Structure 1
Amino acid sequence: MKRTLPAALATVALLAGCALPQQPPPASSLQTPAGWRGAASGSDTTTAAAVQPGWWQGFGDPTLDALVQSALAANTDLRVARSRIAEYQARLTVAEAAQWPALSASFSPARTRTRTATGAFAETTVLQLGAQASYELDLWGRIDRLGEAAAADLQTQQAAADAAALSVAATTANGYLNLRGLDAQLELAQATLRSREESLQRARHLFETGYSSRLEWVQAESEWRAAAAAVPALQRSIAQQENALALLLGRNPGPLDRGLPLASLSAPAVDPGLPSTLLRRRPDIRQAEQRVAAADASLAASRDLLLPTVQLNLSASLQGNTLHQLLDAPARLWSLGGSILAPVLQGGRLRAGTEVAAALRDQAVFGYEQTVRNAFGEVENALVAVDALGAQAEQAQGRAEVAGEVLRIARNRQRNGYASYLEELDAQRTQYAAQQSLLQLRAAQLQAHVDLYRALGGGWQAPPDSAVSAP
C-alpha cells in the first residue's frame, strides 16, 4: 500500500500534464464613451442617478399605473420567464449535488436451490442489507466549474426575466399613450365633423339663396365627407390598440378603462447619467455578461475532462440466512476502494469539445460587446428623439394657434363679403391638419420618454454584489 499510493499520485501528476494550455478570451474592442452626444433638456450627465422602479408612475395617471401592474402580473411572456427561472434553479441544485457523496441503500432477499456433490438438493435463504457510497474527488475543480456555470445560467435567466418585465412595462405604457393619442384625435375628428356639418348647412343655404355658387356647396360637402370618413378610421385604430393592450395584459380582446386625457399627461425629466452607469442599469447587459461567465465556466469544465478522475467507493452490508440472524447476529461484509480513470485515446473528441466550448465563450464575449453598443445607441437615439420631438411639438403648437387665427380671419372676411367660402374651407383644412399633427407629436413625445426609460434600464438595478464590466 505504501508503494501503491505514491505510484498512483505520480501517475495522476503525469496525466495532468496532458491538459490543454489556457485559451484566453479575445481582446476586447469595447470602448465606453465619456458622455452622451446629446442629452435631454435639463439633464445633468455628470451624475449617475438611477431610474426609479415604477417609473411609469411619473406620468401621473393611475389608470396607466394599474395597466402596467396588471401586465407585470399576468403577461404570458413573463409567466414563461418566471417558470424558466424555476427550471434553472432546479438545474443548479442538480449541479451542486455532484459535489456531495452519493449514498444508496439496498435490501436483497434471495432463496436458492442447488444440487450438492451427493446429488441431493439443498435450499438456502440469504438476506442482505447494505449501503453503498461513492464520491468523486474534485482534484481539478471540474465539478465546481459546472456548479459555477449552472449558477451563471440561473442569473442569466433572472436577468432575462427582468429584461422581459422592462419590455412589457414599456410596451404597455407606449400602447396606452398611443391609445390616448388616438382618443384625442377621435375627439378632434368628431368636433371637426360637427363643424363641417354646420359649414355644409350654411353653404347650402347660401347657394339656395343665391349668395354663393354650387362649387362652394359641393366643396363643403366634400370636406364634410372627408371628416366623416376620418371618424370610423380612428375608431378602428382605437379598437385594434385596445385589443393589442388587452392581449399584452393577458386578457381577452376588449375595451379598456381610460384615465387622464392626452393634454393632461406629462413626462417627468429623466437624468441619463454617465454611459458607464448604463452597464449596471440594463438587464440585457447583465444577461449577456452572465452568458460569458457561464460559457467561461463550461470551458474550464470541458478542459478538465482531459484530466484523470479519482473515484472512491465504499460498500457495507449485513448478511444472514434468516431475518432473526440478519438482525441479531449478521455477517458483516465491507469493501473500500477507489479508481483512477484517465482518458488515453478518444479520437480527439475531448479536445474538440474543448475547442467548441472556447468558441462558444468567444461568441458570448462578442455578443456582450454588441449588446453594450446597442444599449449606447438606443440611449442616444432616445435622447435625440426627446429633444427633437419636444422642439417639433413646440412649433406645432404655434402652428395650431396661427391656423386658428387664420380661420377666424377667413370666416370674418367671408361673412363680410370680402372673400369666398372656399377661403374659409381652406383655413378649416389647415387648422385640422395643424391640430391633428400637434396631437400626434404630443403622443410621440410621451412615447419617446418611455423609450428613454426603456433604454436606460427602466429602474432595474444589478444586485449590489455584482460588478458589471466588460469581460
Structure 2
Amino acid sequence: MNRPNLSRGLLALALSAVLAGCAVGPDYQRPALKVPASFKEGDGWRLAQPADLAGHGQWWKLYGDPLLDDLQQRLVKANQTLAQSEASYRQAAALTKGARAAFFPTVSGNLDKTRSGQGGSSSSVRLADGSTVSSGSSAGISNSYTASLGVSWELDLWGKLRRQLESDTASMDASAADLAASRLSLQSQLAQDYLQLRVMDQQIKLLNDTVEAYRRALKLTENQYNAGIVTKADVAQARTQLKSTEAQAIDLKYQRAQLEHAIAVLVGEAPAQFSLAANGQVPALPAIPALVPSQLLERRPDVASAERKVIAANAQIGVAKAAWFPDLTLSATGGYRSGSFRNWIETPNRYWSIGPQFAMTLFDGGLIASQVEQAEASYDQTVASYRQTVLDGFREVEDYMVQLRVQEEESGVQKEALEAAREALRLTFNQYKAGTVDYNNVVTTQATALSNERNVLTLYGNRLTASVQLIAAMGGGWDSAQIASAGKAAAPAP
C-alpha cells in the first residue's frame, strides 16, 4: 500500500473511532418514585445499623437454632427450584458473553475440494446395415482445491452493539437478582415451616400432658362414682373430655408430618429419608431492626430485578433506533485456489480480496419505526412493573410491622386470659372434689383452659412466622451490591 492510501486508511479508522464514541437511544435514568420518609407502621421500631444485619444472607441465625442453620445450608446445596434459578442465571451470563464477543472480529477458515463437470461430446457411426450407433465422452470434468482465511469486523458506529451489551448485562443482573429472590423466598419458607414444626411439637406436648391430666380426672370421677358421690353422667363427661383431647393430639401428628415432608423437599430429600425429632425447644423471637423506605430499594432483590429489567428495556430502544443508520463492516479474504492438488499451495494460485461494506435499509414499509415503538412500549411496561414492585414492597413491610406490633399486644392480653383460666380450673376442680359443683363445671373450665393454652402457642407461632416474613420483606440482609456475585452464591447439585 502506498503512503496516500495508508493516510486515507488511517483517516477512515480515526473517523470510525470518533463515531463509535456515540450511541443512539436514551441513557438510563432511574424512574421517578414517591418514596416516603418513614414507614407508617414504623413507630417504635429502631433503624437498622450496619452491624445489625451482618453476614449478608444468613438472617436465620437471628433465631439462634443450629439445626435451622444446618437445614438452610442443605437447602442452598440441594434445592431443585433453586437449581432452576441458578441455571437460568448461567444462561443469562452466557448470553452476555455472546453480546461482548460481537465487538471483536470474526475469523473463519475454509479448506475444500470440489469436483465438477460441464456438458460432454458425442459422436455417431453408420453401420453397414444402415443403422446408427451414438457414443458420448466425459470431457469437461475438473477438480478444484481451495484454502482460504477470512476476517470480518462490524464497527459499532452508532452504538447498536454497545446498547445490546448494555441490555444483556442488565438482563443478566436481573437474573442474578431473581436468583437471590428465589433463594430468599425458599429460605423464608424453610424457616417458617421449621418454626411452625417446633411450635407444633409444643402443641403436641401440651395435649399429651392434658390427656394425662384428664386421665387422672377420669380416675377420680370413677372413684367418686363408685363411692356414690357423683352420678354416671359425670363419668361419661370425664371420658368424653379425655377422648376428644386424645383425638386432637392425634390430628396434630398429621399436621406435623406435613411440615416435616415440606422441609424434606426444601432441602432436596425424599420425605421417606428425612425426619426431625422433637427437641422440646422453640426459638425465641429476635429483635428485628427496621429500615427506612429508601433503603428498601437496595435491599429487596425483586426490586433490584425489576429495575434491571427497566435498564435492559431502555437499552433496547437504542438497539431499535440504530437500525435507522447504516452498518459498516470491514472484511478481508485470502488464500489459494488450484485445479491440481500437487501445485495447490503456490504463489500463482494465490488470491485475496479486501474492502468495506456500507449497508443500510432504504425502505422497509415502516418496520423499523414499529420496532422502535415496540421497544418504547416495552420500556414503559417495565417502568410500571418496577413501580408496582416497589409499592408492593412497601405494603409488605407495613403489613408485617403492624402484624407483629398488634400480635405482641394480643399476646400480652392472651397470657392474662390464660392465667385467669388456669386459676378458674384450679378453683373449680377443688370445688368439684369438695362436692359443691358438678362435673359439668369442671368440663367447661377444662375446655376453656386448654383453649387458652393452645391460643398462646398458636399466637407465638404466628409471631415467629410474621418475624420471618418481615425479615424477608426487608431483603433478608441482602443488598443490591451483591448482584455481581449472586450467581456464585448457589450452585445446587442436579
- Distance, in Å, in 2 between the alignment partners of 1:300 and 1:252 is 49
Greater Cα offset, 170-179 or 210-219? 210-219
Q: 1:420 aligns to what?
A: 438
CA distance in 2: counterparts of 1:24 and 1:87, whole angstroms? 26
| 1:307 and 2:320 aligned | no
1: CA distance, partners of 2:119 / 2:479: 77
Task: State whether residues 289 and 368 of structure 1, in contact with CA within 8 Å, keep that contact through their aligned partners in structure 2.
Answer: yes
Q: Which residue of 2 aligns with 1:393?
A: 411
1:100 aligns with 2:104: yes
Check whether the contact 1:48–1:277 (CA below 8 A) recurs between aligned residues. no
**Preserved CA contact (<8 Å) 1:320 1:330:** no
Aligned to 1:82: 86
8 A Cα contact 1:51 1:457, kept in partner: no
| Match of residue 235, structure 1, among 253, 260, 269 | 253
RMSD over aligned Cα atoms: 3.0
Inter-CA distance 261–39: structure 2 relative to 1 (3 Å threshold) = farther
Q: Which amino acid aligns with 1:51?
A: L
Corresponding residue of 1:363: 381
Q: How many aligned positions are there?
A: 451
Whole-Å Cα distance in 2 between the matches of residues 125 and 36 of structure 1? 82
CA deviation after TM superposition for structure 1 residue 261, in Å: 3.3
Mean Cα displacement is larger for which, 383-392 or 428-437? Answer: 383-392
The match for 1:201 is: 219
Q: 1:38 to 1:112 in 2, by over 3 A?
A: closer
Distance 1:203 1:116, change over 3 A: closer
Q: Counterpart of 2:349? A: 331
Corresponding residue SS for 2:352: strand
TM-aligned CA deviation for residue 214 of structure 1: 2.8
Offset, 1:112? 5.2
- Answer yes or no: is the 8 Å Cα contact 1:49–1:271 preserved in 2: no
Moved over 6 A (4+): 21-27, 114-117
Tell me whether 156-165 or 196-205 shows the greater mean CA deviation. 196-205
Equivalent position of 1:12 in the other structure = none
> Helix, strand or coil for the counterpart of 1:269?
coil
Query: Can you give the 5+ residue segments of structure 1 that lack an aligned partner in the other structure?
Result: 10-15, 467-471
- Contact 1:40 1:383 survives alignment (8 Å): no
Matched, 1:166 2:184: yes
Partner residue in 2 for 1:257: 276
Partner in structure 2 of residue 67 of structure 1: 71
Please tell me whether the aligned partners of residues 302 and 353 of structure 1 are also in contact (alpha carbons under 8 angstroms): yes
TM-score, normalisation: structure 1? 0.88
SS in 2 for 1:307: coil
Partner residue in 2 for 1:342: 360
Distance 2:278 2:59 in 1: 17
CA shift digits 1:135-191 (9 cap, x unpaired): 222111001111111111111111100000100111000000111111111111111
| SS class of match (1:335) | strand
> 1: distance between equivalents of 2:385 and 2:142?
68
Task: Give the SS at the match of 1:156.
Answer: helix
2: CA distance, partners of 1:224 / 1:257: 28
Partner residue in 1 for 2:38? 35
User: C-alpha distance in 2, partners of 1:58/1:206?
Assistant: 53
Residues in 2 aligned to 1:302 and 1:147: alpha-carbon distance in whole angstroms: 13
Matched AA of 1:140: W
The change in CA–CA distance for 1:382 and 1:258 in structure 2 (over 3 A counts) is farther
Distance 1:25 1:280 in 2: 17
Larger radius of gyration: 2
The 1-side partners of 2:240 and 2:327 are apart by 87
Pick aligned residue for 1:176 from 161, 172, 194: 194
Q: Encode CA deviations 1:393-439: one digit per residue, 9 max, x unaligned.
A: 22222222222122111122222233222222222111101110011
Pairwise CA distance, 1:387 = 1.4
The farther-off stretch of 387-396 and 56-65 is: 387-396
Once the two structures are TM-superposed, the CA of residue 456 in structure 1 deviates from its matched residue by 0.6
Q: Percent identity?
A: 27
**Per the alignment, do residues 370 and 114 of structure 1 end up closer, same or farther by CA in structure 2, a change over 3 Å counting?**
closer
Alignment of 1:449 onto 2:451: no
Distance 2:180 2:52 in 1: 16
Q: Deviations over 1:248-277 (max 9, x none)?
A: 221112452247534x41132111121111
1:107 touches 1:129 (CA, 8 Å); kept in 2? yes
Q: Which of these residues, 433, 445, 457, is aligned with residue 439 of structure 1?
A: 457
Residues 84-112 of structure 1: CA deviation (Å, up to 9, x unaligned): 11111211122122111111111133455
Following superposition, the deviation at residue 323 of structure 1 comes to: 4.3
Query: 1:268 pairs with 281, 286, 289, which one?
Result: 286
How far, CA to CA, are the matches of 2:118 and 2:414 in structure 1? 104
Q: How far 1:330 moved relative to its partner?
A: 4.4
State the SS of the aligned residue for 2:291: coil
Work out the CA distance in 2 between the residues paired with 1:40 and 1:198. Answer: 49
> Once the 2 structures are TM-superposed, how far is the Cα of residue 337 of structure 1 from its aligned partner?
2.0
Supply the distance in 1 between the matched residues of 2:342 and 2:434 (Cα, whole angstroms). Answer: 124
Q: Which moved more, 1:186-195 or 1:362-371?
A: 186-195
Q: Distance in 1 between matches of 2:308 and 2:458?
A: 41
CA contact (8 A) 2:28 2:311 kept: no
| TM-score for both structures, normalised by structure 2 | 0.84
1:45 and 2:63 matched: no
